[in-house]
Amino acid sequence: MSKKESTSTLWGGRFSEATDAFVQRFTASVDFDKRMYRQDIRGSIAHSEMLAKVGVLTEEEKNAIHTGLRDIEAQIDSGEFQWSVELEDVHMNIESALTQKIGIAGKKLHTGRSRNDQVATDVRLYLRDEIDVIAQELTRLQKGILELAEREADTIMPGFTHLQTAQPVTFGHHLLAWYEMLNRDYSRLQDCRRRMNQSPLGAAALAGTTYPIDRELTASLLGFSQPTRNSLDSVSDRDFAIEFCSFAAILLTHLSRASEELILWTSSQFNFINLPDRFCTGSSIMPQKKNPDVPELVRGKTGRVNGHLIALLTLMKSQPLAYNKDNQEDKEPLFDAVDTVRDCLRAFADMIPAIEPKREVMREAAKRGFATATDLADYLVRRGTPFRDAHEIVGKAVGYGVKTGKDLSDMSLEELRQFGGSIDEDVFKVLTLEGSVAARNHIGGTAPEQVRRAVQVARKELSER
């Protein structure tokens, strides 16, 4: 252990020796929790406003506190504020600076609260602010998807199961599947915000306080829907952070799936789309390469966010009530999850509207793999053939196509009739790619008409947020 050092802590009265210098650094959180300084100052202003209302502070003391805190915020904004590891965290750094600035009134600010309820309040305020920013980026991404989906409502591409050509779909329809995933993510994010939007301030260390505080007032001043209802739970709850990271993990899973498709589609093997150069990088050795680094990196960051979720679940799983120092470890995973989500959404929201589909390549790909085989089976069923018989007939026709190198739509009527069933000239209306997608003209179907209608419904939803 390194040598002992004297400190200027605000809690040292009970201690007979200074904290070890290494322990001081090991237990300090100011290097990462200082990002919450605005929320900490906002909470302190609300707390002092309440203390003045209930008579614990005079108006003069309250005004001095408010002025001092705003001056400190301006100092931090400008980069002039000197953070101290000796003062452990963002709360004690700001309180110490306030006391130096305004004297004894600064020492009264902490009346009726603890760092336990203070940090719980700050983290909620911080996460609430970040959720609102993330919600805006998520909405921007969804708008970009709708813009591209509407533009490509008639663009035909192969739809896949098992990464094998299954049926023709429209590119717009495929993009709307991404939209629906993100729509559920948005709903989860708002649920998280609603549940976390309760004020722990006033719970104090764990049991509440003997001062005549007004928790409804501080909750209102800070924009919370209500105070939390149990002081023990208030200071030890980190469900909201876990829930946010759960949202983040699901969101990144969805972005990762979309990333995988973008990566495949930009490959020379698929060649379905072009990503503008500004979203790609080259190779240091292979001059021909154009790498889809943005979607690849988003795909990679999914594991990072999943790790943060597991870290927080593990952090909380064995903690007895109420607050424990373990909870200091909640912030770095949460903060990094926030940053990662925000950056990934920004990258996607910028990139998606700039995608350049290669429509003819997509259409030619949809012609391979007998994508209209199900349409032929449906045609036979409508003409009285039992489905299992129709399935066998079409299977034989596909086998013939494999041998001859012909798609179903390229076969003659005589060739199709040799396998059985009642087939007439009108069969070619359903064997074309356009006929196939147009036939699925129902809610949720891939028909261009349905894609455009779904875009309009989605735009109305977004306008009501």
Q: Would you please indicate which residues are annotated as catalytic (active-site) residues?
A: 162, 283
Backbone angles phi, psi at 164, to 5 degrees: -110, 145
Q: Which residues pair with 356 in a beta bridge?
A: 274
CB burial of 397-409 (b: ≥16 within 10 Å; e: otherwise) equals bbebbeeeeebbb
SS3 286: coil
**Contact predicate 315/328, CB 8 Å:** no
Q: To the nearest 10°, report the CA torsion of 340, 342, 345, 349.
A: -140
State the Cα–Cα distance between residues 349 and 143, nearest whole angstrom.
Answer: 8
In angstroms, the Cα distances linking 238 to 186, 190, 201, 234, 323 are 21, 17, 15, 9, 10
Q: In sequence order, what are the residues at sequence separation of 6 or more whose Cβ sits closer than 8 angstroms to the Cβ of residue 348?
A: 141, 144, 255, 258, 294, 298
SS3 357: strand
Q: In sequence order, what are the residues at sequence separation of 6 or more whose Cβ sits closer than 8 angstroms to the Cβ of residue 280?
A: 290, 291, 292, 293, 294
State the Cα–Cα distance between residues 94 and 96, nearest whole angstrom.
Answer: 5
Angle, nearest 10°, between helix axes 90-102 and 59-78?
Answer: 120
State the Cα–Cα distance between residues 463 and 398, nearest whole angstrom.
Answer: 47
